[in-house]
Chain A
């Protein structure tokens, strides 16, 4: 019996890990579809950014209630997963609480895990209430219908179930130890601390050892299988951020928020145009002829850079960006969160085609099929979204990249903008004033 359970465990473990590895490889492949961008500069600053923002969650607490609860769940989750190590070893070798040789420290740790588990449950219930009863606005925008809304709730249910299993398992284990059951009880007395699960004992009061073992084993299995499923659920969920928040904050933009990139391809052409010695009819350099002309801006995910694609996979759909967005607050269609979600959805669609070994189909793209022009033109480039994001995502850079495509590839700016741009071109100001009148103010009273 014991050996069957060990084999079953090992099989489940291997299947889960293989799936996980497959997902990670897909993720990596999809992100690599993005264009190159160098984010290896200033490694110290990047590291400290990652430690502060991802590990230290410094930006989460800008909203104290959600921030502190999130830290509880986060810390609880990570720490309780240390216990996973023991569970895995016990599962493979059929041992019981293999780390118990740590003695008092072990008891303290298990006790601390239990208290954390309780705090996690309390936090999650609060999260659920905020989402579903209080209906905080940023969780109910139009892009949060269907899967995103369910995803958020599933995760909450999942976490409560995992924590409950953990506590019930401990309760049954504790009772078995009290009963002196074989395999559970130890000469050294009770192992583990049960500050929370001891209050669950009345629930299993009067059950015989065999029933207790069933409960202990079932919850043990549910807990471990739950975690393995969770691990594989991540790829399909906004919860991918628990892994990607780290690289994402590391590779986040370090330059001032107001600084947009200068397009190098444009610089080269502008130089040619401005250089009086350049011969516009000169034959292109050897080899240049078969190069495809560079496309300006982005109309699809493959035109974005890999950091922007990593951003899309990392987005937690928390909506902090959108709730600070001036366009969104005044009823415009633009929502920076939706920009990130659309980018991810489209990237997944492209990834699906690659999974099926199909070429990336023409006829569908990020622009128009996901993100509309109306959204793109509503942005004031205020960078409130970039500031608000707790994990260093930059929705503005995607908006700019898509505007570049609209203007430079399609000449499709709104008409009034075209008028002021031709003013800039002709007379050096967005209004139709003559450049020669630029100093007139000094003579007026």
Chain B
């Protein structure tokens, strides 16, 4: 897999005087976290395969401010938001797709009040649309018939009421989808939200990601599917803490699609 990914930037589009179909908002995790970068790349491969004209902001992208806002630092959040909105508006961005539910929620819900109005979709929603429009074809492939459970990201599910897009994709992969006892609107958090990703947990008797992993393991899965880079990290750590990493993988739905298509 030595081929280099083609990842055009908005600046490059601008030079050519063109507008891409969609801006791919990569996010901090997707840009810097080793595990999450794999998701980013998998998603880019699918976009290329489906001939989607996309662009990224590259070095002009900055944290949406979500962790700051949820930690109570409204100042920092709004500074980040206003800076990002300036860049996005300068490029006249209309549609944004992101593989991070936190970026998704923030840009979709909290940017409009500060002057940033865009159509924002989560990558699972975007992929679902590609499938429905016939621009992307997915068939079972290597995940066909596998026992898989899906962990709902809070900021996609409860926060924004999207439970079906990722599940539709999994169904397309013809997996045996097994729901956890706590799923969809009642799904348990992975433990990363609200700034928790960046601090030690308060004193308790267990880590949240371990509890969530236990719930996932109850379904006896071969793979845990996720739709958020932070959930992915938390669930991966949870599986490791149960010493199950040899048997059970944690994968983003986009990675699964890319793999099924041998991308």
**Interface residue ranges, A against B (CB under 8 Å):** 255-260, 262-263, 266-267, 269-271, 273-274, 296-297, 324, 326-327, 329-334, 374, 377-384, 386-388, 400, 402-408, 413-414, 416-417, 419-421, 424-425, 428-431, 433, 435-445
Closest CB in chain B relative to A334 CB, distance in Å: 7
Whether the pair B205, A296 counts as a contact (CB closer than 8 A) is no
Given that A327-B204, A329-B188, A438-B26 are known contacts, is A259 also in contact with B70, CB under 8 Å in the complex?
A: no
Given A380, A388, A421, A444, which contacts B196 in the complex, CB threshold below 8 Å?
A380
Whether the pair B32, A429 counts as a contact (CB closer than 8 A) is yes
Q: How many residues of B sit at the interface, in one of the four size bands? A: 35 or more
Which of B72, B74, B109, B113 gathers the greatest number of chain A CB atoms within 10 Å?
B72
Whether the pair A403, B72 counts as a contact (CB closer than 8 A) is yes
Q: What is the bound-complex CA distance between A334 and B196, given in angstroms?
A: 14
Which chain A residues border B30 with CB–CB below 8 Å? 441
The A-contacting residues of B in range 169-201, CB under 8 angstroms, are: 185-186, 188-189, 191-201
Which chain B residues border A444 with CB–CB below 8 Å? 37
Whether the pair A430, B208 counts as a contact (CB closer than 8 A) is no
Q: What is the bound-complex CA distance between A333 and B212, given in angstroms?
A: 19
Whether the pair A433, B7 counts as a contact (CB closer than 8 A) is no
Given A333, A378, A420, A445, which contacts B2 in the complex, CB threshold below 8 Å?
A445
Given A382, A407, A441, which contacts B40 in the complex, CB threshold below 8 Å?
A441
A-B contact pairs, 25 of them (CB 8 A): A256-B159, A257-B160, A258-B109, A258-B154, A258-B160, A260-B110, A269-B75, A332-B201, A378-B204, A380-B193, A382-B194, A383-B154, A383-B159, A384-B186, A403-B70, A403-B71, A413-B73, A416-B200, A421-B71, A425-B79, A428-B28, A429-B62, A431-B33, A438-B59, A438-B61
Closest CB in chain B relative to A423 CB, distance in Å: 8
**Interface residue ranges, B against A (CB under 8 Å):** 1-2, 4-5, 7, 9, 26, 28, 30-33, 37, 40-41, 44, 56, 58-59, 61-63, 65, 67-76, 78-80, 82-83, 105, 109-110, 113-114, 154-155, 158-161, 185-186, 188-189, 191-208, 210-212
Q: What is the bound-complex CA distance between A441 and B155, given in angstroms?
A: 25
Which chain A residues border B203 with CB–CB below 8 Å? 331-333, 374
Whether the pair B28, A429 counts as a contact (CB closer than 8 A) is yes
Whether the pair B198, A438 counts as a contact (CB closer than 8 A) is no
Which chain A residues border B83 with CB–CB below 8 Å? 274
Closest CB in chain A relative to B255 CB, distance in Å: 14
* Closest Cβ neighbor of A267 among chain B residues: B78
Whether the pair A270, B78 counts as a contact (CB closer than 8 A) is yes
Q: What is the bound-complex CA distance between A274 and B159, given in angstroms?
A: 30
Whether the pair B72, A413 counts as a contact (CB closer than 8 A) is yes
Whether the pair A428, B63 counts as a contact (CB closer than 8 A) is yes
Whether the pair B31, A429 counts as a contact (CB closer than 8 A) is yes
Whether the pair A267, B114 counts as a contact (CB closer than 8 A) is yes
Which chain B residues border A439 with CB–CB below 8 Å? 7, 9, 31, 56, 58-59
